[in-house]
């Protein structure tokens, strides 16, 4: 492979053009002044971030960061207008004795278009930053990669190929056209920051800016524990359980970092810590001794071996001493290790007589127990109850974690708790990254980070093929390669070249027979997307207690069932996706790669459900959409959605006439029935898709409505009706504002939710239609809704006036036809995006637009299985809430409502 100096620089002319445009912004030209002003107006600082620009040190300045881009785009952008020229702060390194850990930040170019809907909504909702957008994904991402230290050249090649030493090839920004800055610095910690300083200078022309290792470890751990929801977990008897850590109760704790050696640090706060102990018996000891004793070629190989080992052949157990008996008086079972390697003294055997597998396991247990015990003693010394273990010795290895947990539990008699970190090996590197003054990361909140698990690796066969991470063609051929090999893929997230350890490589032999998987240390850390505009939905009654998922996938039967459902749905989904892109050869290739990638994710999760953090059904459904987007399927159900919208809009006038002829009470019931009946149009449900072959949309809609019979399986309609219409002479005050979380396109939104919205508007309630930011199945998106509303408004004065008042019909030429001239109130109808691209909704991470709309809302209506049943069924709100859905899955119906497929849920819960 070419050395760093000779590596080609990957750059296209287009990129250069765009950069030039940005660079040429001339403050003296009037049009440029205008652009600059607009940019300033459009980009408000992310909520809660304190903004300073450092005077001299390199930094990643997130102040006035704005998410921009077109929602059709794969990688929308975060624009960092205040980013200084020196962007070497994109990268930080932790160069340890065995491994180099690398954390880097990437971002993407802006291609924003102005969206009138957004501007209008923001004006109405009083959001000042007129152009701030939120997406489930965006251009600001933190990546985690590692290399073996003795392969430092690979690390340098990687840094060079991605141009991380002076900005990053992903960051097609106005900043990166600069030639390599000879004064560029890279933050680095670990002993190698000293040892390899000259090497980095010679090879990359950069200076390593050294940061203290302990400072970095603590900063990294504190960041992870505060900013990432499912970071810490316990591990007992092979079971991982994520622990929710309250920020206010985080300190003090003991941080045990197990690298080559071991450090034990008492952490009392941000930057407040003391190294209280350590041990020289650590990861280096295991690897060093193991290498001598087993002839293994790598740490991971040694760990792999241990998985097939039996330490009883070497360790002296209590039972060996007590004739197979427990020593129960002091609480020791016969299987307890009395003396590690103790059997070797009493037997007349040579090294070659022992199996390397057994040696490796014995060694692993010896070192893990020892570390667990010393950690416990130090926790005891300072009265600490929580011990977090980090460092690459652990490598997500179940046996290691179980052994350490056992030691801590055993010696503390259950008083202290051992916890592990998903990003265990990256504490130092993250801390070094954070050490850049005011790059904004220290202000990041849990809800602003979204972790994604892309296939993403551009590497095969141990070589960097470039272009770097994210290139579609590379990904596809990478997936195809595994077809040719005819191998089962069960580790979908390799992110570093095989030959490095931990994160990657299908090439690494499996611990389980012939299948290919990432090595034993499968770390499963994804890419962290920073989305500063995400917020917690303000109407949640108790955000800390909120759990979006209803179905618990830790139940293995449940997990198996949903995996089968999703796998069986896959061929049909691929057909739709390929057809949506014109059925071209390219689309077929991508479709195939998508199917493989998603199956690989499923298989990986089936093997280890907690591999990507806590797993709920919503995560699985979202993963599928994300995976489609990764292979650039913009909207698989586009044409189905269009067809169903048109068919439904054609019958809307008749429905509205029918409704208008009814009494108030009958109308409300018919409207709710209509919503439930129309929720049958769900292309994610196997049963429903089978139904669609049996008739036209309108026929199915009629059939569904005809079958509506009260009482529904969950039926709170009468309570809702009372709140809406009152009882006797008492007329209740109308709701001020209702948020309607809409679901599917076609009849669902046109014949179900829009007529309900119209009723609310008529009663003087402002209505906000809340729709997806990005497509998911046949769900309607916020981008599509204004056109649908405009069409509907042609047949309805109420909708037209409200949509005009809400700024939805700026361009539409609409004239009313339904003759319902009554109550010409000017309550607005608005559309906001929810910040999601999934059939479900996690209300801990919604768009700032939705959060703003929620401020004045006193009624929310959640519609559909995804939003009201799979997620949020148990959610409680500060305002009145109505949950409406038809259950289109037999198993869910039985489990959730003890009913049957096509049963309905109308759950009304008054404000808490």
Ligand X SMILES: CC(C)(COP(=O)(O)O)[C@@H](O)C(=O)NCCC(=O)O
HEC per residue, 169-215: CCCCCCCCCCCCCCCCEEEEECCHHHHCHHHHHHHHCCEEEECCHHH
- Name which position in 436, 870, 883, 907 contacts ligand X (CB under 6 A): 870
Instruction: Tell me which H or E stretch contains 22.
Output: helix 13-23
Rounded Cα distance, 489 and 886, in Å: 36
- Residue 743 makes contact with ligand X by CB under 6 A: yes
Contacts with 217 (C-beta within 8 Å, 6 or more apart), sequence order: 255, 257, 263, 265, 390, 427, 428, 431
Stretch that binds ligand X, among 288-296, 508-516, 680-688, 846-854 (CB under 6 A): 680-688
- Residue 120 makes contact with Mn ion by CB under 5 A: no
- Name which position in 684, 752, 755, 899 contacts ligand X (CB under 6 A): 684
- Name which position in 685, 765, 781, 845 contacts ligand X (CB under 6 A): 685
**574 CA to centre of own chain:** 23
- Residue 784 makes contact with Mn ion by CB under 5 A: no
Rounded Cα distance, 640 and 746, in Å: 9
CB of 752 to Mn ion, least distance (A): 12
- Residue 779 makes contact with Mn ion by CB under 5 A: yes
Q: Residue 541 touches which of Mn ion, ligand X, none (CB < 5 to 8 A by kind)? A: none
* Total chain residues near ligand X (CB under 6 A): 20
In the chain, count H helices and then E strands: 29, 27
- Angle (CA) 595-599-605 rounded to 5° is 150
Nearest alpha-carbon partner for 199 in 246, 153, 168:
153
Q: Residue 148 touches which of ligand X, Mn ion, none (CB < 5 to 8 A by kind)? A: none
Stretch that binds ligand X, among 268-276, 515-523, 681-689, 821-829 (CB under 6 A): 681-689
Contact 127, 849 (CB under 8 A): yes
Q: In angstroms, what CA-CA distances link 121 with 553, 569, 732?
A: 38, 37, 28
Q: Please state, as a whole number, how many other Cβ atoms lie within 10 Å of the Cβ of residue 194.
A: 12
- Residue 781 makes contact with Mn ion by CB under 5 A: no
CB of 551 to ligand X, least distance (A): 10
Contacts with 556 (C-beta within 8 Å, 6 or more apart), sequence order: none
CB of 658 to ligand X, least distance (A): 25
Contacts with 60 (C-beta within 8 Å, 6 or more apart), sequence order: 80, 83, 87, 89, 90, 105, 436, 439, 440, 441
**Complex with ligand X: residue 57 or 686, whichever CB lies closer:** 686
Evaluated on CA atoms 196, 199, 200, 201, the torsion sign reads positive
- Name which position in 4, 814, 889, 893 contacts ligand X (CB under 6 A): 889
Q: Residue 865 touches which of ligand X, Mn ion, none (CB < 5 to 8 A by kind)? A: ligand X
Backbone angles phi, psi at 716, to 5 degrees: -105, 25
**Complex with ligand X: residue 25 or 703, whichever CB lies closer:** 703
Stretch that binds ligand X, among 74-82, 369-377, 679-687, 808-816 (CB under 6 A): 679-687
- Residue 679 makes contact with ligand X by CB under 6 A: yes
For residue 892, give the DSSP letter. H
Evaluated on CA atoms 455, 458, 463, 464, the torsion sign reads negative
- Name which position in 71, 744, 773, 880 contacts ligand X (CB under 6 A): 744
- Residue 839 makes contact with ligand X by CB under 6 A: yes
- Residue 475 makes contact with ligand X by CB under 6 A: no
**Complex with Mn ion: residue 221 or 841, whichever CB lies closer:** 841
- Residue 899 makes contact with ligand X by CB under 6 A: no
Site for ligand X in 768-787 (CB under 6 A): 777
- Residue 187 makes contact with ligand X by CB under 6 A: no
Rounded Cα distance, 706 and 415, in Å: 61
- Residue 744 makes contact with Mn ion by CB under 5 A: yes
Stretch that binds ligand X, among 72-80, 240-248, 270-278, 682-690 (CB under 6 A): 682-690
CB of 889 to ligand X, least distance (A): 4
Rounded Cα distance, 307 and 509, in Å: 13
**Complex with ligand X: residue 110 or 625, whichever CB lies closer:** 625
Q: Coil, helix or strand for 145? A: strand
- Residue 864 makes contact with ligand X by CB under 6 A: yes
Cross-strand bridge partners of residue 671: none
Q: Residue 685 touches which of Mn ion, ligand X, none (CB < 5 to 8 A by kind)? A: ligand X
Stretch that binds Mn ion, among 251-259, 537-545, 743-751, 873-881 (CB under 5 A): 743-751
Stretch that binds ligand X, among 285-293, 355-363, 520-528, 860-868 (CB under 6 A): 860-868
CB of 321 to ligand X, least distance (A): 57
CB of 779 to Mn ion, least distance (A): 4
- Angle (CA) 584-586-588 rounded to 5° is 70
Q: Residue 870 touches which of Mn ion, ligand X, none (CB < 5 to 8 A by kind)? A: ligand X
Site for ligand X in 232-251 (CB under 6 A): none
Rounded Cα distance, 536 and 545, in Å: 13
Stretch that binds Mn ion, among 174-182, 327-335, 457-465, 775-783 (CB under 5 A): 775-783
Rounded Cα distance, 879 and 735, in Å: 10
**Complex with ligand X: residue 339 or 567, whichever CB lies closer:** 567
Stretch that binds Mn ion, among 23-31, 188-196, 303-311, 833-841 (CB under 5 A): 833-841
- Name which position in 216, 429, 790, 865 contacts ligand X (CB under 6 A): 865
**Complex with ligand X: residue 59 or 773, whichever CB lies closer:** 773
- Residue 622 makes contact with Mn ion by CB under 5 A: no
For residue 555, give the DSSP letter. S
How many Cα atoms within 13 Å fall on the side-chain side of residue 446?
A: 16
- Angle (CA) 132-136-137 rounded to 5° is 90
Rounded Cα distance, 831 and 460, in Å: 45
- Residue 621 makes contact with ligand X by CB under 6 A: yes
Q: Which residues bind Mn ion (CB under 5 A)?
A: 743-744, 779, 839
Q: Which residues bind ligand X (CB under 6 A)?
A: 565, 621, 679, 682, 684-687, 743-744, 777, 839, 864-867, 870, 885, 888-889
């Amino acid at each position: 492979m070419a050395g760093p100096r000779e590596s080609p620089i990957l750059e296209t002319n287009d990129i250069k053009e765009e950069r030039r445009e940005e660079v040429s912004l001339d403050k003296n030209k009037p049009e440029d002044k205008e652009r600059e002003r607009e940019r300033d107006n459009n980009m408000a600082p992310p909520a809660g971030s304190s903004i300073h620009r450092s005077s001299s040190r390199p930094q990643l300045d997130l102040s006035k960061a704005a998410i921009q881009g077109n929602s059709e785009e794969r990688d929308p952008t975060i624009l960092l207008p205040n980013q200084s020229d020196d962007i070497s702060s994109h990268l930080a390194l932790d160069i340890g004795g065995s491994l180099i850990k690398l954390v880097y930040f990437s971002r993407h170019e802006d291609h924003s278009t102005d969206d009138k809907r957004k501007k209008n909504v923001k004006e109405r909702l009083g959001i000042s930053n007129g152009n701030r957008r939120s997406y489930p994904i965006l251009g600001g991402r933190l990546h985690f990669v590692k290399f073996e230290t003795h392969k430092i050249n690979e690390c340098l090649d990687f840094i060079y190929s991605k141009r991380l030493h002076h900005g990053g090839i992903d960051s097609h920004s106005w900043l990166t056209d600069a030639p390599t800055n000879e004064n560029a610095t890279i933050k680095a910690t670990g002993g190698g920051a000293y040892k390899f300083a000259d090497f980095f200078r010679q090879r990359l022309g950069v200076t390593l800016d050294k940061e203290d290792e302990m400072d970095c470890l603590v900063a990294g751990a504190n960041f992870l524990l505060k900013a990432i929801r499912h970071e810490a977990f316990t591990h007992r008897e092979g079971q991982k359980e994520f622990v929710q850590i309250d920020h206010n109760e985080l300190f003090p704790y003991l941080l045990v970092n197990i690298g080559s050696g071991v450090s034990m640090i008492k952490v009392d706060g941000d930057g407040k810590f003391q190294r209280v102990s350590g041990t020289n018996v650590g990861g280096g000891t295991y690897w060093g001794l193991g290498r001598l004793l087993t002839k293994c070629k790598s740490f991971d190989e040694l760990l792999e071996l241990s998985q097939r080992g039996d330490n009883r052949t070497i360790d002296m157990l209590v039972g060996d001493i007590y004739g197979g008996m427990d020593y129960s008086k002091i609480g020791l079972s016969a299987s307890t290790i009395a003396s590690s390697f103790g059997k070797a003294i009493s037997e007349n055997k040579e090294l070659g007589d022992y199996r390397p597998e057994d040696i490796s396991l014995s060694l692993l247990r010896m070192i893990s127990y020892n570390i667990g015990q010393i950690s416990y003693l130090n926790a005891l010394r300072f009265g600490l109850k929580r011990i977090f273990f980090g460092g690459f010795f652990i490598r997500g290895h179940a046996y290691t974690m179980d052994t350490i947990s056992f030691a801590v539990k055993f010696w503390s008699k259950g008083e202290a708790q051992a916890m592990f970190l998903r990003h265990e090996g990256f504490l130092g590197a993250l801390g070094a990254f954070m050490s850049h003054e005011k790059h904004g990361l220290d202000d990041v909140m849990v809800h602003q980070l979204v972790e994604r698990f892309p296939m993403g690796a551009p590497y095969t066969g141990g070589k960097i093929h470039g272009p770097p991470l994210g290139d579609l063609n590379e990904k596809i051929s990478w997936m195809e390669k595994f077809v040719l090999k005819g191998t089962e893929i069960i580790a979908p997230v390799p992110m570093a070249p095989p030959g490095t350890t931990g994160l990657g490589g299908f090439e690494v032999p499996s611990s389980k027979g012939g299948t290919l998987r990432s090595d034993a240390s499968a770390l499963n850390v994804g890419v962290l997307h920073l989305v500063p505009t995400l917020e917690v939905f303000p109407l949640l009654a108790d955000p800390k207690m909120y759990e979006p998922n209803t179905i618990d996938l830790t139940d293995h039967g449940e997990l198996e069932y949903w995996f089968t459902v999703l796998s069986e749905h896959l061929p049909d989904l691929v057909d739709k996706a390929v057809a949506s892109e014109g059925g071209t050869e390219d689309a077929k290739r991508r479709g195939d790669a998508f199917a493989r990638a998603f199956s690989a994710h499923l298989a990986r999760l089936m093997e280890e459900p907690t591999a990507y953090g806590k797993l709920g059904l919503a995560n699985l459904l979202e993963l599928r959409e994300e995976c489609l987007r990764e292979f650039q399927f913009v909207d698989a159900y586009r044409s189905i959605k269009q067809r169903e919208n048109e068919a439904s809009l054609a019958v809307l006038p008749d429905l509205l006439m029918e409704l208008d002829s009814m009494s108030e009470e009958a109308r409300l019931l018919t409207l709710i029935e209509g919503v439930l009946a129309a929720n049958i149009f769900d292309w994610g449900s196997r049963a429903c898709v089978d139904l669609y072959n049996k008739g036209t949309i309108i026929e199915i809609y009629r059939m569904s409505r005809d079958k509506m019979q009260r009482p529904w399986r969950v039926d709170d309609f009468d309570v809702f009706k009372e709140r809406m219409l009152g009882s006797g002479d008492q007329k209740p005050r109308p709701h001020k504002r209702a948020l309607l979380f809409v679901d599917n396109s076609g009849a669902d939104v046109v014949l179900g939710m829009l007529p309900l919205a119209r009723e609310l508007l008529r009663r003087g309630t402002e209505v906000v239609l809340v729709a997806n930011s990005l497509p998911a199945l046949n769900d309607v998106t916020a981008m599509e809704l204004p056109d649908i509303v405009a069409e509907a408004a042609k047949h309805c004065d109420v909708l037209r006036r409200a949509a005009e008042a809400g700024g939805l019909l700026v361009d539409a030429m609409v004239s009313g036809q339904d003759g319902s001239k009554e109550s010409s109130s000017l309550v607005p109808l608005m559309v906001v995006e929810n910040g999601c691209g999934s059939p479900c909704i996690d209300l801990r991470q919604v768009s700032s637009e939705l959060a703003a709309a929620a401020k004045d809302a006193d009624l929310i209506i959640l519609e559909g299985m995804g939003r009201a049943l799979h997620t949020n069924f148990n959610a409680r709100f500060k305002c009145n809430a109505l949950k409406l859905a038809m259950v289109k899955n037999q198993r869910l119906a039985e489990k959730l409502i003890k009913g049957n497929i096509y049963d309905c849920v109308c759950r009304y819960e008054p404000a808490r």
